[in-house]
Amino acid sequence: MGMEDDIQKDFLAESRENMELLDQQFVELESEPDNAELIKSIFRTIHTIKGTSGFFGFNTLEGIAHFAEDILSKLRDGIVAVNEKITTVLLQAVDHINAILASLEQTGKEPDELEHLDFIVELRDFAEKLETSRDTTPDQKGGSPEGTKTNETDASAQAGPEDENPTQCPAKSRKDETSGESEKTDLPGEKVSPVSGQEPKAEKPERSSSPTTYKASDMKQGFGRTPQLTESHIRVDVNLLDRLMNLAGELVLSRNRMVQIAGQLNNQELLQANQRMSLVVTEMQEQIMQTRMQPVGNVFNKFPRIVRDLARQAKKQVQLRIEGAETELDRSIIEIIKDPITHMVRNSIDHGIEKPDTRTANGKPPGGTLTMRAYHEGGQVIIEIEDDGAGIDAQIIRRKAVDKGVLGEVQAEALSDRDALLLIFQAGFSTAEQVTNISGRGVGMDVVKSNIEKLGGAVDIQSRIGRGTTVRIKIPLTLAIIPALIVNTAGQRYAIPQVNLVELFRLSDESVERNIQIVGGSEYYRLRGQILPLIRLRRVLGLKEKEPRNGLNIVVLNNGDKNFGLVVDGINDSEEIVVKPLGSHLKHIDCYAGTTLMGDGRVALILDVVGMTAALNLQSDKPMERSLSQEESIVTAEERQFILLFSVGPEEYFAIPLALVSRLDKITPDDLEMVSGQEVIQYRGRSIPVIRLENYLPISPLPEQDEYHLIVFHLNDKDIACLVSGIDDSLDMAVEVEEQMFRQEGIVGSAIINDHTTLFLDIYQIIELHDPSFFSGSCHETRVGRILLAEDSTFYRNLLSSYMVAAGYDVVVAEDGRQGWEKFKQEEIDLVITDIEMPHMDGLELTRKIRSHEVNSDVPVIAVTSLTGDSHRQRGLEAGINDYQMKLDRERVLSSVHELMDT
């Protein structure tokens, strides 16, 4: 029983393999109808299936194989010549055989479906008709005499062994349903003697004139495979190989430990023995790795058939060229790239290659060429899908993008052709004028891209109108072993795949303070003039922020789209790591790509750079970054602020500190919705209230525009947005604000910027005017306490003081440290808020004085600055400052005040 099971399994596996080969061979046969070797090879495959299925008693399978063999024998013997009809029927037979094999594999039984039986009848009829039809349809094909000749000679030479059918005659072993029919036909093909000179037949001119580009070696390999396989190949369960890989990894670790011990013992003999073992183990690991490599041809070889079917469906003529099928790739990668490649091939045939008449009209050959190419480049494998079709018109893509609301018109126009092409990888794009059942609705290219990026690969597209399109996929050789950078954070090691790595650098405390800017809650660093967003790994992983720091280690990574800096505690080393998948309990976490074993036998997580940024929602806030990169003046630690300038209507200019802005966006009037009398927009599935400034300020109303700008604030854990006409500029300036001229709720003051009178908004007040309950629940309970506020800038002094007053505190203001110190001595103060940089006496000095005061030395002190930096913080803490806040972050300042007041 077990024995038979094993044989059956072998049979299935072998048949599967052969069937894959068949697909390819049939398509080849169409373009080379005279290739006798090819026909014989196909015949042999079918013949083997027939024989073996008879042995196991798979009647349906045997029936189909039998009649397919019938047709093939006629081809082989030159009774009929290959034509499209025959190929189609034979391919159908292959499909049925595949379906039955699949069912056998799953259930161990043949499927009961009638369609297979129906097909047997059809196939038999076809086989019978073939003989008679050859006389009636000679006009269908023209012919090449040489080909026929070789065909015949080969056929007669081969006829002997092939004709001797195996002992189990199918007609006898087949019972039930097929028996009746089979007796009638009884292997007619083999009995008809070859008729010579009968077929001056060949293929359609364009087919035979364009030779396929399978290399001769591929052919040989293909044909020789069946007999060779049994001698030199065995089938191994893939799981077994995986386990072997695991164990080899473990062996390497054990070896490392041994080498360590031998070194400690300093035993020469042991060291030598170890060295020998090291070599063997390393080599063994390499060999085991090798077992996972497969030629990419395993995927490519499925395409002749797919291309043929698709081309027929689309009524186009497509010739497939395959190059570099022998390029080797890891088994797991091959499996993953299959679908993306299929998708792109479909796209090429459906959208790329034109109909024959269009092509002819454009002076191209009627048949298009699709090239699939694989090769190694720089330790990676490149796969290219190239067509000579119509190309992609960037202008059409732009228009589509605007129509579909993916981009605004201005944005779309600003895109380079290259960037516009990349839009097809976004969800919801389909450029075909008509959606066909081949390419679907443009869903997919985005999936293609994300699937490939998940592998650590990249997709690129190049296209020339009228000349064709090339899609280029870059993928790593193997997923199993990758070079990685090991970093550590919070006492654990993490591996970062080297493909994502751009560079490493380290910032001293001083440089951290000077060069890291905080905008809208995110940190940015200027690296050689480029703005680099910084992400702290501890924050990403939800770990505690590190308290004392000693410079920053920054790993610059690329997520396939843009660079960003990952702040880690430490950088260890570069290593080749063995990637192991995450268990099902952890798979859902986007930040991890897998796990790996480190040299000491401990486990480390592999970070998923793409997933990590997706989780963080790292968006390209272009205006925000531009604002940072455009700012010309050198940033000093003093009272300079990034100011965002915007306008409402043609004449109303406003400014707000950029630090308060969480995001800038553009919307069209259609995006605005009215919900219970309030304007909102939908953003990431949530409704954000929209404020029109003219409702709260005496200004002209926002004119009707095709597109509005949106300034989004994230305050009190809620989003709220301001609708404005345009974002004009952003600059880094020393804030000199005139507070007297415009005394108005919602306005802090005014200044002349770029020759315009510009109003500085108090966005907190405006939001409160719009929604009095917006800030409730966080910091609006009335408080008691007297706060000393020492701040030399009138603007900030008034701003901060207004926050404190609004929160219910008494505020005593001082214009510098010295005045502050005087007032501190005179009045009863519960808490001090001080600027650091002030004339006469700075905030640190003030703090030190307070700390040495005989009575009130324990009054809490909060320091505020416009820029945060760590050495400040350090010095501040040393001077006795309790907390450190950014001036403009009202919420943080207030919560810090509440907290310190309460203690």
Partner 1 sequence: MGSQSDFPIEQQSDAKEKSVAFQNEDTAHFVTFYFAEHFFGLPISEVVEINRSLEITPVPLAQPYVAGIVNLRGQIITAVNLARRIELAMNTESVDEFEYHNVILGRHNEPVSLLAERIGDVVEIPVSQIEPPPSLIEGMKVEYIKHVCKLPGQLLIILDGDSLQRPDTADTGEPDTSTSPAVN
In the chain the first and final C-alpha atoms are separated, in Å, by 81
Q: Kind of pairing, strands 686-692 and 718-724? A: parallel
Q: How many CB atoms lie within 10 A of CB 245?
A: 19
Q: Report if residue 541 touches partner 1, rule: CB under 8 A.
A: yes
Q: Are the CB atoms for 713 and 656 separated by under 8 Å?
A: no
The 233-252 site mask, x for binding partner 1 (CB under 8 A), equals: ----xxxx-xx--xx-xx--
By CB under 8 A, name the one of 175, 191, 585, 743 that touches partner 1.
585
Nearest-approach distance from CB 246 to partner 1, in angstroms: 4
Among residues 529, 583, 685, 698, the one that binds partner 1 under rule CB under 8 A: 583
Q: Does 591 bind partner 1 (CB under 8 A)?
A: yes
CA proximity to 488, closest of 609, 604, 608: 604
Which has the closest alpha carbon to 817: 850, 853, 794?
850
Q: How far is the CB of 493 from partner 1 (least distance, A)?
A: 8
Give the one residue of 399, 580, 692, 780 binding partner 1; rule: CB under 8 A.
Answer: 580
Give the ranges where 594-716 is alpha helix by DSSP (H).
609-616, 622-630
Q: Name the residue with tokens 């719009």.
A: 770
Smallest distance from partner 1 to CB 459, Å: 24
Query: Directed axis angle between helix 2-31 and helix 216-232, to 10°?
Result: 170
Q: Is 542 in the site for partner 1 (CB under 8 A)?
A: yes
Alpha helices in 164-267 (DSSP H): 170-173, 176-185, 188-191, 205-209, 216-232, 238-265
Give the CA distances from residue 27 to residues 42, 91, 178, 495, in Å, rounded to whole numbers and listed in that order.
11, 9, 29, 46
Rounded CA Rg of the chain: 38
Task: Rule CB under 8 A: choose which of 312, 587, 686, 825 binds partner 1.
Answer: 587
Q: Which is nearer to partner 1, 108 or 166 (CB)?
A: 108
Q: Which of 111, 118, 127 is nearest to 178 (CA)?
A: 118
**Cα within 13 Å of Cα(788), Cβ side:** 29
Give whichever of 254 and 508 is closer to partner 1, judged by the CB atom: 254
Segment near partner 1 (CB under 8 A); pick from 87-95, 192-200, 232-240, 851-859: 232-240
CB of residue 419 vs partner 1: minimum separation in angstroms? 33
Helix (H, G, I), strand (E, B) or coil at 296: coil
- Among 12, 171, 422, 543, the residue binding partner 1 under the rule CB under 8 A is 543
Non-local (6+) Cβ contacts of 783 within 8 A are 807, 808, 809, 898, 901
If you count DSSP H runs as helices and E runs as strands, how many of each does the chain have, helices first? Answer: 31, 34
Least gap, CB of 105 to partner 1 (angstroms): 11
CA angle 193, 197, 200 (to 5 degrees): 125
Region near partner 1 per CB under 8 A, out of 223-231, 589-597, 677-685, 692-700: 589-597
Number of residues lying near partner 1 (CB under 8 A): 35
Residue 635 has phi, psi (to 5 degrees) of -75, 125
597 binds partner 1 (CB under 8 A): yes
Stretch that binds partner 1, among 199-207, 315-323, 417-425, 575-583 (CB under 8 A): 575-583
CB contact at 8 A, 16 and 101: yes
Stretch of residues binding partner 1 (CB under 8 A), selected from 175-183, 512-520, 602-610, 811-819: 602-610
Q: Does 603 sit near partner 1 (CB under 8 A)? A: yes
Helix (H, G, I), strand (E, B) or coil at 703: coil
Question: Nearest distance from residue 125's CB to partner 1, in Å?
Answer: 41
DSSP reduced 3-state for 514 = helix
Q: What is the DSSP string of 778-804?
A: TS-S----EEEEE-S-HHHHHHHHHHH
Q: How many CB atoms lie within 10 A of CB 46?
A: 27
For partner 1, the binding residue among 492, 687, 871, 874 (CB under 8 A) is 492
CB of residue 486 to partner 1, shortest distance in Å:
13
- Quick one: 75 or 486, whose CB is closer to partner 1? 486
Cα separation of 657 and 411, whole Å?
A: 25
Report which DSSP code applies to 589. Answer: -
Nearest distance in Å: CB 104, partner 1? 16
- What is the residue type of 733? M
CA distances from 651 to 573, 693, 696, 701, 721 (A): 58, 14, 17, 11, 21
Kindly indicate which of the ranges 129-137, 288-296, 535-543, 550-558 contains the residues binding partner 1, using the contact rule CB under 8 A: 535-543
Cα 6 vs. chain centroid, distance in angstroms?
41
Minimum CB distance to partner 1, residue 544 (Å):
11
Nearer to partner 1, 494 or 642 (CB): 494
Min dist. Cβ of residue 543 to partner 1 (A): 6
- Neighbour count for residue 209 (Cβ, 10 Å): 11
Instruction: Tell whether residue 586 is a contact of partner 1 (CB under 8 A).
Output: yes
Taking the least distance from each CB to partner 1, the nearer of 246 and 462 is 246
Minimum CB separation from partner 1 for residue 117, in Å? 31
Kindly indicate which of the ranges 83-91, 416-424, 598-606, 894-902 contains the residues binding partner 1, using the contact rule CB under 8 A: 598-606
Burial class of residue 6, CB neighbours in 10 A (0-12, 13-18, 19+):
exposed
Instruction: List the x/- string, 396-435, binding to partner 1 by CB under 8 A.
Output: ----------------------------------------
Q: How far is the CB of 499 from partner 1 (least distance, A)?
A: 21
State residue 289 phi and psi, 5-degree precision: -60, -40
Taking the least distance from each CB to partner 1, the nearer of 528 and 544 is 544
Type of residue found at 643: I
Query: Site for partner 1 (CB under 8 A): which residue of 142, 145, 224, 601?
Result: 601
The DSSP 8-state label assigned to residue 601 in this structure reads: S
Choose the binding region for partner 1 from 26-34, 582-590, 752-760, 817-825 (rule: CB under 8 A).
Answer: 582-590
Using CB under 8 A as the binding rule, the residues of this chain from 285 to 344 that contact partner 1 are none
Min separation Cβ 482 and partner 1, Å: 16
When the beta carbons of 545 and 854 are compared against partner 1, the nearer one is: 545
> Nearer to partner 1 by C-beta: 86 or 604?
604
Least distance to partner 1, CB of residue 235, Å: 12
Nearer to partner 1, 491 or 548 (CB): 491
Q: Is 592 in the site for partner 1 (CB under 8 A)?
A: yes
CB-nearer residue toward partner 1: 280 or 586: 586
Nearest approach, Cβ of 241 to partner 1 (angstroms)? 10
**Which residue in the block uniquely carries the two structure tokens 């082989």?**
76
User: Contact, 191 vs 9, CB < 8 A?
Assistant: no
> Is 17:47 a contact under the CB 8 Å cutoff?
no
Give whichever of 243 and 376 is closer to partner 1, judged by the CB atom: 243
> Is the CB of 604 or the CB of 721 nearer to partner 1?
604
Query: What is the smallest separation between the CB atom of 243 and partner 1, expressed in angstroms?
Result: 7
Q: Which is nearer to partner 1, 306 or 541 (CB)?
A: 541
Alpha carbons 536 and 491: distance in angstroms, whole number: 15
Using the minimum distance from each CB to partner 1, give the nearer residue, 575 or 719. 575
Comparing CB distances to partner 1, the nearer of 239 and 773 is 239
CB of 339 to partner 1, least distance (A): 15
How many Cβ atoms are within 10 Å of 226's Cβ, its own excluded? 16
Q: What share of the chain is helix, strand, coil (3-state, %, to 5)?
A: 45, 25, 30
Shortest CB 242 distance to partner 1, Å: 4
Amino acid at 696: Y
Binding footprint of partner 1 on the chain (CB under 8 A): 237-240, 242-243, 246-247, 249-250, 253-254, 490, 492, 541-543, 580-581, 583-589, 591-592, 595, 597, 601-605
